[in-house]
Structure 1
């Protein structure tokens, strides 16, 4: 996930694996439902972009079978050992700056990638270029600006603290080049990129044990930046983490916007 100042949630940090597992628990079922919608089948060639954890690539590998191909890429492939042992090709790739990998692909998927990529317009063009005519692109990105509260039911000081820390976290994301209202634009952007049959929906958990796990790992991962930037004190962070551990917060996620479209069959411009 390339950007000029570096990805705030570094895959090499110890909390990254916990975040990947929580994101998988929260969003994999929705992602797999969208794969079923586009009709993924045996023999398909799939590119999983900014793969992070191995769960999506592993599902694709099982679905496409021995005649298919699954390529998983990220700017940091420190997670790659598990995916590679499962028959997935793993390659380091910066989707915002590098040329598309050798294809073409029947399915290209990116989840929680483009919102963080400074060169997101170029990245989207790369994803479209990698499709075969008739191939499908599925892009899933959060839209934190659409629903900014991690505790939508802000009924007390514990919830207010959680929302204030979340505001600080999103300020850090913006400083790193994230576009926190990108998700809502995906349908239009896919149409403007020349894709047909564009559809989109949104999914957003209101409360879940995985939301608690995700928030704890995220806060631990960025706590030093929150304190350094004056966005929270160590005491506030510890109090928030204790509130999560006590089960007193109904933590939500940002809405995840999923948009998908097909490269027209008559499009012979594949490079």
Structure 2
């Protein structure tokens, strides 16, 4: 993810670190399970697209070992710093407009990227082109339309306020050309791009401390935009954040994360 002006949740904001940490806590176990199932191992050449943070590319580096390679790209690499490794190459790159940073790859993976990329078709074409014959593509995207409520148990005023703010967040995202139904289209898109052995599943956390941390960081990042768009008042946002801190909305959910994978013939 990045500092592109079209992206609502910029990595330049102070809350970005908390968001990336919460996303890693919530979704890394599912992502790593899929990557293991695809057979990632010693010597693999991998491209982590829109990496955001370090958790996935550095996990991949551990799997591919000294004979493998991991390229981690993003339009904003602010959170990809830290100790360098021989296996991880960090590059600033726009997947929607630039050629792939490497080719003949065994794996290309992107999580929570294409929903926000204006040139999604070009980005997906680029990722497929970067694969060697037999290479694997794993795409993971949230699909808020499959379950739009951040509080599925919408039983009281605190939950109703949380759900109204979440609806406002989706409105802001849609206004920036984010495709909020992209996740469900992934299996079809992989087949349309010529991949075979296509399959998919979805992961849907509905109660976890990281869900709460993610919601707080997200609301803090978009606070001013919610107010300026007339979606919520400052007092309502403060009330929602207090509801989070005092445990009045303990069962916060994420949008379902659709994971789809396939093989290049």
TM-score normalised by structure 2 residue count: 0.97
The answer to whether structure 1 residue 213 and structure 2 residue 213 are counterparts is yes
Stretches of 4+ aligned residues off by more than 3 angstroms: 1-5, 83-87
Aligned to 1:33: 33
**Shift in alpha-carbon separation, 1:155–1:136, aligned structure 2, 3 A:** same
The answer to whether structure 1 residue 261 and structure 2 residue 262 are counterparts is yes
- Whole-Å separation in 2 of the counterparts to 1:3 and 1:91: 14
Q: Deviations over 1:16-52 (max 9, x none)?
A: 0100100000000000000011111100000000000
- Whole-Å separation in 1 of the counterparts to 2:121 and 2:82: 31
Q: Deviation at 1:84?
A: 3.5
Aligned to 2:118: 118
Q: Deviation at 1:101?
A: 1.1
Aligned to 2:223: 223
- Whole-Å separation in 1 of the counterparts to 2:160 and 2:183: 25
TM-score normalised by structure 1 residue count: 0.95
Contact 1:6 1:176 in 2 (8 A): yes
**Shift in alpha-carbon separation, 1:109–1:87, aligned structure 2, 3 A:** same
Map 1:166-181; keep pairs closer than 5 Å: 166-181=166-181
Aligned to 1:17: 17
Q: Deviation at 1:100?
A: 1.0
Q: Deviation at 1:154?
A: 0.2
RMSD: 1.3
- Whole-Å separation in 2 of the counterparts to 1:193 and 1:211: 34
Map 1:68-87; keep pairs closer than 5 Å: 68-82=68-82, 84-85=84-85, 87=87
Structure 2: gaps spanning 5 or more residues: none
Aligned to 2:182: 182
Q: Deviation at 1:85?
A: 4.9
Q: Deviation at 1:81?
A: 1.3
Q: Deviation at 1:143?
A: 0.2
Matched position secondary structure for 2:7: coil
- Whole-Å separation in 1 of the counterparts to 2:109 and 2:56: 9
Contact 2:187 2:198 in 1 (8 A): yes
- Whole-Å separation in 2 of the counterparts to 1:86 and 1:43: 13
Q: Deviation at 1:88?
A: 1.3
Aligned to 1:89: 89
